[in-house]
Amino acid sequence: MNADPAAAAETVLAGTPAKRGDSRLLGPLAVGLALLSAFVTFVVLADLTPLLPTHNVVVTLLLVNAATVVLLLAVIVREVWQVVQARRSGRAGSRLHVRIVGLFSIIAATPAILVAVVASVTLDRGLDRLFSTRTRAAIENSLIVAEAYLRDHAQIVRSDIMVMAFDLARAEPIFKNDRDKLRQFLTFQASVRGLAAAIVFDRDLNVVAHADLETNQTFAIPPREALPHVTTTEPQVVLLPDTNYVAAIVKIDKYDDYYLYVARLLDPRVVPQLQATRESAQEYAALEARRLGVQVAFALMYTVIALTVLLSAVWVGLNFAKWLIAPIRRLIGAANLVSTGNLYVRVPVHQSEGDLASLGETFNRMTQELRTQRDDIMRARDVIDSRRRFTEAVLAGASAGVIGIDGQGRVSIVNRSAEKLIGCNEAEALGRPLTEILPEVAEILAAARTGLRSQDQVTITRHGRERNLSVRVTSEQSTDSDRGYVITLDDITELVAAQRTAAWADVARRIAHEIKNPLTPIQLSAERLRRKYGKSIGNDRDVFEQCTETIIRQVDDIRRMVDEFSRFARMPKPVFAADDLADTIRQAVFLMRVGNADIDIDAEIAEDPMPARFDRRLISQALTNIIKNAAEAIAAVPPAELGKGTIRVFAERHGEDIVIDVVDNGIGLPKERRSRLLEPYVTTREKGTGLGLAIVSRIVEEHGGRIELRDACERIPGQRGAMVRLRIAAKGKPASAAEAELQKT
């Protein structure tokens, strides 16, 4: 049975598909061709062969190198794809394989990148000095100086034209009507300022006057469309580097659309120099543009060779990593199988792997030892599990509550019966101190630890209900000083109540028997004394009548009390019949409403009709007693605090039970030892016999239910007073085993 998992595990670890012969040779062949083509390219470019490195030869070598690089790249991509697939599928050792491949790739790529940076710097500095920074700066500075010369002449022309326009505006009365004086002024100003031309024209470009200067230069007049943009405060200066002059135009103030146009000639030696400087800059830019082609050619050749060497190194690293990771992958795969519980796995061992082979042998011995130990543990666990299941079955089926605690007093075990008794489920109780969930047994537990006593009775209250428990504490059979304890809880509430009821019933019978016999002679004697001697007594006749009347009345009271004792001692067995409980409740409420007109007594019944099996007379008696007690509780409240007395009766179905709640706003019930009010002869009223609630409790118990004493605020929030809940079985009290056997016979 164990051989199959072992064989399967060995198959998984050792079963690797064999590669084809061409696949194994493709990688080394691609690496050899790539290195050979790179070497041939190097010796040709280094001019170490008769073959000259012409353009065609260089292009051919580049194509051959590119082809070998593509082939090598395809081989590497296939290897990398296999690594990626192994990583995605979660194959054993795939993470380590990726790290080793990445490390080898970084080791191979770093030197190549450094050499590329050094070669690029060397190639840049080894080119023609024309491309140096100083040469470029000299040409650029020459062009800057020539343009600065033009800007200086433009600034001089601007200053001259503004001064001339100001003078013309100031002498407007003189020059406007005398054009000869205007011409003389222009001629003088042009001569003084070294201007080649000074012309005044109107908006239609008609010459008004011009300076008489001897020059053969022709000057371009600005077009008419440009005149609207010329103002009196800002002249328009025009730089004409292709000509030999600088011109400016401005509008003359105080004249009707007159414009002043001036021109200054440039140095004839500077203009050709400026043209030459610009041509030199253009030639330098073209030469520098061709520099990129040279750099690209050398860089491309270096890149191809470097890429070939780099990819060859990467392929070698991939194959070395594959060879290194293979035994580690087998070990990781075997360890993963062991982690899933398969201890029959064995790692194939190849002695050529050296230390890793020894590691595989050690792993196989370890799995064998683990397999042996696990089998022993499994057998021991099966025995413990069988005992545990038996213990849990016993605890779950036990009627007594069982609570286990450890040495620190924290709960470790709670059975179902204990959950019901303490009002706390197992999830809430586990791990908590016992003194928190059941503080009533703390004293018994402390006594059991000191060896004083290990059994006692306690009274607990859960969910408004009081229970009597018999508690037994047993210590675990352990030599450890920090031993645990087992606490057994037996609910003896009904037993105690039955014992008390039986005892009081016996007392009631004896009292009724001993007291009832002399009551009749006493009453007859008192009546005879009153009849015979009532008329013969003279002065004390009123006293005599009052005393005999008191004797007769007290005897009647004692007889009624004895009758109640007798009824309690001999409660009739209920006669169950199918009837409408809603109608019974309404009749009882109606009778009590008639007898207590000053109290609002209402009934709220969830179902109408409410079919059930019960004794109509006994249930009516029980309801009457409860409503009567509620009315007396309301009467005990001071009128200033009471307001309007109310009694509300609720009836509804809860599963298989019918629940009847009687809620009043009277003085309420005592908080301490409230459940003792259900015992015979226990009452809170001065004239009460203490048998009313005891009789109701017995009636409800005969109907398969129970009575609960609660506060009115649990049913009606914010209301004071008491609530008495009667819970009876809708199908009647189930027959006991003895009764069922009698019915069969």
Predicted pLDDT of residue 609: 86
Coil vs helix vs strand at 603: strand
Show Cβ contacts of residue 325 under 8 Å, excluding neighbours closer than 6 positions.
93, 96, 97, 100
Question: Which tens digit of pLDDT belongs to each residue from 359-411?
Answer: 878 888 888 888 888 888 888 888 888 877 777 677 766 667 788 888 788 88
Show Cβ contacts of residue 323 under 8 Å, excluding neighbours closer than 6 positions.
none
Question: Which tens digit of pLDDT belongs to each residue from 78-102?
Answer: 777 777 777 677 666 666 667 777 7
Question: Which tens digit of pLDDT belongs to each residue from 112-169?
Answer: 677 767 766 665 555 544 455 666 666 666 667 666 777 777 777 788 888 888 888 7
Mean pLDDT along residues 328-339: 78
d(CA 704, CA 123): 109
Identify which has the larger pLDDT, 186 or 145: 186
Identify which has the larger pLDDT, 5 or 271: 271
Tell me if 94 sits within 8 A of 87, measured CB to CB: yes
Q: How many CB atoms lie within 10 A of CB 445?
A: 18
Question: Which tens digit of pLDDT belongs to each residue from 683-736?
Answer: 666 556 666 787 888 888 888 888 888 888 988 898 889 999 999 988 876 544
Instruction: Pick the closest to residue 579 from 620, 621, 628 (CA basis).
Output: 620
Predicted pLDDT of residue 3: 41
Say if residue 257's pLDDT is above 70. Answer: yes
d(CA 612, CA 732): 7
Instruction: Pick the closest to residue 634 from 598, 606, 592, 661 (CA basis).
Output: 598
Candidate from 40-44, 136-140, 177-181, 619-623 with smallest mean pLDDT: 136-140
Write down how long the chain is: 745
Sorting pLDDT into bands at 50, 70 and 90, what band is 225?
confident
Question: Which tens digit of pLDDT belongs to each residue from 191-202?
Answer: 888 787 888 888
Coil vs helix vs strand at 414: strand
CA separation, residue 713 to residues 628, 635, 659, 668 (Å):
20, 19, 17, 10
Instruction: Pick the closest to residue 111 from 310, 315, 320, 303 (CA basis).
Output: 310
Tokens linked to 51 = 């073959």
| CA 145 to centroid of chain Cα atoms | 72
- Farthest CA pair distance, the chain: 187
Return the bridge partners of 491, or none.
469
The dihedral through the CA atoms of 7, 8, 10, 16 has a sign that is: positive
Sorting pLDDT into bands at 50, 70 and 90, what band is 33?
confident
Say if residue 21's pLDDT is above 60. Answer: no
CA dihedral 435, 440, 445, 448 (to 10 degrees): 170
Give the amino acid at 600.
D
Tell me if 601 sits within 8 A of 647, measured CB to CB: yes
Category of 423 on φ-ψ map: left (φ > 0), alpha (ψ -120 to 50) or beta = left
Sorting pLDDT into bands at 50, 70 and 90, what band is 238?
confident
What percent of the chain clears pLDDT 90, i.e. is strictly above it? 5
* H or E segment to which residue 401 belongs: strand 401-405
Coil vs helix vs strand at 709: strand
| pTM for this entry | 0.37
Predicted pLDDT of residue 122: 66
- Across 434-448, 472-486, 551-565, 718-732, the highest mean pLDDT is recorded for 718-732
Burial class for 453, CB neighbours closer than 10 Å (0-12, 13-18, 19+): exposed
Question: Average pLDDT over the chain, rounded to whole?
Answer: 75
Return the bridge partners of 659, or none.
652, 727
Place of tokens 């061992």: 349
Long-range pairs of 477-486 with CB within 8 A, sequence gap ≥ 24: 480/407, 481/407, 482/406, 482/407, 482/408, 483/407, 484/404, 484/405, 484/406, 484/407, 484/412, 485/404, 485/405, 485/445, 485/448, 485/449, 486/402, 486/403, 486/404, 486/405, 486/413
> How wide is the angle at C-alpha 487 spanned by C-alphas 481 and 493, nearest 5°?
160
Say if residue 479's pLDDT is above 60. Answer: no
Return the bridge partners of 426, or none.
none
Return the bridge partners of 200, or none.
209, 260
Give the amino acid at 125.
R
d(CA 659, CA 663): 13
d(CA 201, CA 642): 120
Concatenated DSSP letters for 720-737? -SEEEEEEEETT-PPPPH
d(CA 232, CA 256): 12
Predicted pLDDT of residue 166: 81
* H or E segment to which residue 520 belongs: helix 493-533
Tokens linked to 102 = 């990445």
Tell me if 197 sits within 8 A of 211, measured CB to CB: yes
- Across 153-157, 178-182, 636-640, 708-712, the highest mean pLDDT is recorded for 708-712
Give the amino acid at 185.
F
Instruction: Pick the closest to residue 596 from 576, 565, 624, 569 (CA basis).
Output: 624
Tell me if 401 sits within 8 A of 416, measured CB to CB: no
d(CA 83, CA 264): 80
Concatenated DSSP letters for 394-429? HHHH-SSEEEEE-TTSBEEEE-HHHHHHHT--HHHH
Give the amino acid at 384.
I
